[in-house]
Amino acid sequence: MLGCVMPPRQRWSAKKTGIFFVVLAFLGMGMLGGSWWYGSHTAPKVDAARGVAMDKGREFFRTVPLPSGSTLYSPLQEELSTYSRGPLHGVKTHITWHTEYNAPGTFEEGLRHFETVLTQQGWQRREVRVPSVLQQEWARPPFILTIGDRGFWQYPPSHRFSLMLQWDWNFE
């Protein structure tokens, strides 16, 4: 045991602990400052994009070719929503438009009509995780269109379908 000398045990001193907390405080302030900077510089961009999207969304519903004989069941509803947390807290970053129509024929016939019309306009069919026979999703960034079945009547053969268009700041 003569040649083996153990080094003294290292302990955290009060000075090292103080330095650790000062560095931690600087990192925290940097993260908060970066988050504030991102939110304050991104919010005007979101507002400008939202204004363009609102015009395009309303234009879509004015010009969408519906199946022949379709009648309006519920008027167009527009809803704006925000993030609840994060640097864009309180900024309206999501718009949803929703309306319903009654149309003669079956829902499948209506889907075939929309498939030809939407592909001509540059929309692409969106595959969802859980496929459904009651709705289809179409995408043309920054929009997602959902066509949903709301009911079928046999006499006379007709159905009700819904159109829901969504815009989100993060959807590209």
Instruction: Decide: pTM greater than 0.95.
Output: no
Residue with tokens 């988050």: 35
For the chain, give every domain's residue range: 42-168
Instruction: Output the pLDDT for position 96.
Output: 92
Spell out the SS3 assignment of 142-167. Answer: CEEEEEEEEEEECCCCEEEEEEEEEE
Is pLDDT at 1 greater than 60 in this prediction?
no
Positive or negative: CA dihedral 114, 116, 120, 124: positive
Instruction: Output the pLDDT for position 77.
Output: 92
The second-level CATH assignment, the architecture, of 42-168 is 2-Layer Sandwich (3.30)
Residue with tokens 């046999």: 154
Residues 74-114: tens digit of each pLDDT: 999 999 887 666 666 667 788 999 999 999 988 888 889 99
Instruction: Round the average pLDDT of the chain to a whole number and report it.
Output: 81
Please give the Cα distance from 111 to 114 (Å, whole number).
Answer: 5
